[in-house]
Amino acid sequence: MNRIYLIGFMGCGKSAVGRRLSFLLKLPFYDMDKEIVRQTGKTIPEIFEQHGEKYFRDLETQFLQNFKNDYCIISTGGGATMRKENQKIMRNTGLVMFLDAPFREIWRRIHRDPNRPIVRQSTREEIEALHKARYRGYKQTAHITIRTEFRTLRQITQYAAFQVNRLKSERFDLN
């Protein structure tokens, strides 16, 4: 088990933490959404508009199944954890860290982002309901939950690095 997966709702900081954690741990970083865009040649909104959400979720599963790099950090899409198959792949191939941010902070970050198709098509109440519905899946999948409220990006990243280093000698082979 050599990968580090960052999971959580859209806007919780997975990509930002992943980039910084990559630097600290000297491991390559992959953003699942950006890799899917690169592989398909389409933006996330284009994929949703042309093929629908199920197709996009299938692409996320294929990414997890076929990804070759063992020693890396991967920030997942916000909905990737909702499939049991994805949960199993992540838990069996790496350390899963849930970045747990309060909804009010997430909403502040995402509500005007044109690259989030679900946000563009939904009300705040609908997004909050989605957050609540996904929360349990994040908790079930995670080996470690990192509360992000009242912490800086630097503090979150340093805590994640501390947890990885602490676990290196135990169950996880992250050398």
% of the chain exceeding 70 in pLDDT: 95
CATH superfamily of 3-169: P-loop containing nucleotide triphosphate hydrolases (3.40.50.300)
Predicted confidence at residue 175, as pLDDT, reads 43
d(CA 41, CA 67): 18
Q: CA nearest 110: which of 44, 56, 47, 55? A: 44
Instruction: Break the chain into its structural domains and give their ranges.
Output: 3-169
**Side chain identity at 75, as an amino acid letter?**
S
Q: What is the pLDDT of residues 136-148, one digit of tens each?
A: 999 999 999 999 9
d(CA 69, CA 111): 33
Q: What is the mean pLDDT of the chain?
A: 92
Q: What is the pLDDT of residues 93-115, one digit of tens each?
A: 999 999 999 999 999 999 988 87
Which residues are part of a known binding site for Mg(2+)?
15
Which residues are part of a known binding site for ATP?
11-16, 116, 151
User: What pTM value is reported for the model?
Assistant: 0.92
Q: What is the pLDDT along the chain (175 residues), one digit of tens a residue?
A: 589 999 999 999 999 999 999 999 999 999 999 999 999 999 998 999 999 989 999 999 999 999 887 899 999 999 999 999 999 999 999 999 999 999 999 999 999 888 787 888 899 999 999 999 999 999 999 999 999 999 999 999 999 999 999 987 665 555 4
**To which residue do tokens 């690169």 refer?**
38
**Run of H or E residues at 12:** none
Which residues are part of a known binding site?
11-16, 33, 57, 78, 116, 134, 151
d(CA 166, CA 150): 23
Which residues are part of a known binding site for substrate?
33, 57, 78, 134
C-alpha atoms less than 13 angstroms from C-alpha of 160 in its C-beta half-sphere: 35
Task: Give every CB contact of residue 50 below 8 A, 6+ residues apart in sequence.
Answer: 42
Rounded (10°) angle between helices 124-141 and 103-110:
120
Q: Looking at the DSSP assignment, which residues form a beta bridge with residue 163?
A: none
